[in-house]
Amino acid sequence: MCCPYAGASASAYNALSAALPAEVEALSVQYPGRPGSRGEPPVKDVGALADRIAEEVRPWLDRPVAVFGHSFGSVVAFEVTRRLEAAGAAPRQLIVSGRRSPSDGLGSHTPRDDREIIAELKELGGIPPRFFEKEKFLEPILTVVKNDYHANSTYLAPENASVGCPISFLFADADPYLTGGGEQGWERHTSAGFRIKRFSGGHFFLNEKVAEVAEEITGILRD
């Protein structure tokens, strides 16, 4: 199960899904408030969003499940995993990337206005450039991104919040959100195994290194 990053829809993981072997079925979550999500309002709280996702995925819990999330999606994935474990449907693995740990917060990486958000989105490269060219495309993107940024920046888990499954943390050496060893904080949020995999690239390395990321995830799932 894949939890998208801020501003993204379920289609954000299409390339990754296609790169995974046939034995792995990638179920990508569509958050409320996105185009095509039945006109539902966005959810402004990570916990409430995780509650909703954990309820919706129940039909898929009759098989081995792992949870993956990138950036904002990593803390959504963490909270979904906690809820599935509490319901007796523990995932085999939690795989996260591109964000400081649940109890570390975001530090100073929180844009304040539309201009700063647009500049950051362009710099990070997570959204195709054509969407910045027309107001009709940009306005709905900004609405979704600002909601997700609010949920992400206001989320902070207790240091003792943990999951019972192993955590694998994937990160890029030039990710501006993980300066100063931010990748290490995830280890304290599992009572099982922990491992780190480093890639070259920036925050959206998973889009640039699709084959490598798919290979790493496949190896984790086969262990």
Active site residues: 71
Token digits of residue 5: 């990053």
**Dihedral pair phi/psi, residue 192, rounded to 5°:** -115, -150
Amino acid at 147: N
Per-residue exposure over 157-194, b if at least 16 CB sit within 10 Å of its own CB, e if not: beeeebbebbbbbbbbeebebbeeebbebbebbbeeeb
Per-residue 3-state assignment (H helix, E strand, C coil) for 189-208:
HECCCEEEEEECCCCCHHHH
**Structure-token pair, residue 116:** 């700063």
Residues 6+ apart with CB under 8 A from 106: 99, 100, 152, 153, 177
Do β-strands 93-97 and 167-172 pair in parallel, antiparallel, or remain unpaired? Answer: parallel
Pick from 17, 6, 3: nearest CA to 77: 3
